[in-house]
Amino acid sequence: MKQENNKNRNKTAVALGYDPGTDVAPKIIATGRGVLADKILDVAKESQIPIHKDERLASTLSKLELGDAIPKELYEVVSEILVFVDRMDRIKSKVLPRKDM
């Protein structure tokens, strides 16, 4: 049980947002550790927002302030994730019926 509490306390979650009309790069819209990380993940799941697990990237991004754009050094890795998520969304929309119908 103690090990599970430690693992939860060390969990980090970061949410990115991107508006191609106004943003130069994706930016940090939420970040948290432990219980707050769980809440961020719960909101993402409830909202059907894709989740990508990458502890090193989350740790790096969590050091940024809310509203900060990701640094240029992370453009490539984040763009690969966004392309993957976009592909999964397209596949999912073809295979699964929409929930709002």
- The pLDDT assigned to 91 comes to 83
**Using CA atoms, how far apart are residues 1 and 11, in angstroms rounded to an integer?**
15
d(CA 56, CA 62): 10
- Does 38 have pLDDT greater than 80? yes
pLDDT at position 88 is: 81
pLDDT of residue 46: 96
For the chain, domain boundaries: 2-95
Reported as a single tens digit per residue, the pLDDT across 58-74 is: 999 999 999 999 999 99
What CATH number does the domain located at 2-95 have? 3.40.1690.10
Q: What is the Cα–Cα distance from 82 to 30, expressed in whole angstroms? A: 17
Q: What is the mean pLDDT of residues 16-36?
A: 95
